Amino acid sequence: MTTEIRIERWKVFLKGMIGLSMMILVVLSCCSKTRASTNDLMQSWGRVINGFQLALELSNTNYLVGEPVPATFVFRNSTTNTLRYLGVGGARDFKFAVLGSDGKPVKPIDRTGWDDFLENEGSWRWITLYGNEERRFAKQLDARFTLAPGEYRLRASRSVTDAAGTNAVEITSGEIRVRIGHAGIPPRSSSSCCHSSRRR
């Protein structure tokens, strides 16, 4: 075998290896992007009111009937000053607002007395939130609402009383849209509203 033939064969071999390497890199890149998008959090912030700001956070926007729907309230002091608010300092300070695809509010499950028992987070008191401080509280959406298949619009809210304890204002999060699919049938992806953002 002549040297020229060997060189040509090596060129063909190297081109094949380069092509294979490029294909592997493309596949790995796609897989990496898929994992990243799956793990991204959907976080939707509301307006700043009296220095406070509230976000609703979900790890997914597509669920099946009967699946847990964990949510997180993110409450922060958007100023550099120290703020105080009246509450128990836990998830019980916050509530969900759920609208169905018809725009009508979804009635929560009657849990009279149970929230205080199951979420024993202490008594009401003045809570300090330092400048730019952020606190997070978890709550199960499916434990408060029976969600049939369909699309829902979610918001979180809480009232904040001023330092004098005389006036209360409602702090609301931005909106996130969630789709509930039939068990065994993956729900179609739902799009969030313009106020939502992917948390990196």
Q: What superfamily in CATH does domain 41-199 come from?
A: Immunoglobulins (2.60.40.10)
Report the C-alpha gap between 130 and 99 in whole angstroms.
33
Q: What is the pLDDT of residue 123?
A: 77
Per-residue pLDDT of the chain (200 residues; tens, 9 = 90+): 566 666 666 566 556 666 555 555 444 444 333 222 334 579 999 999 999 999 999 999 999 998 999 999 999 999 999 999 888 878 888 999 999 999 999 998 876 554 544 455 567 888 899 999 999 999 999 888 999 999 999 999 998 876 666 778 999 999 999 999 988 665 555 544 444 444 44
Q: What is the pLDDT of residue 7?
A: 63
Q: What is the pLDDT of residue 194?
A: 40
Return the DSSP state at 105: B
Q: What is the pLDDT of residue 121?
A: 57
Report the C-alpha gap between 103 and 23 in whole angstroms.
47
Which is it for the CA torsion 194, 47, 84, 80, positive or negative? positive
Q: What is the pLDDT of residue 167?
A: 79
The helix (H) or strand (E) run that includes residue 35 is helix 3-39
Rg of the chain in Å (alpha carbons) = 25
Q: What is the pLDDT of residue 174?
A: 96
What burial class does residue 167 get, using C-beta atoms within 10 Å of its C-beta: 0-12 exposed, 13-18 middle, 19+ buried? Answer: exposed
Q: What is the pLDDT of residue 19?
A: 59
Please name the residues in contact with 131: beta carbons below 8 A apart, sequence gap of 6 or more: 77, 79, 80, 81, 82
Concatenating the DSSP letter of every residue in 152-165 gives EEEEEEEEEE-TTS
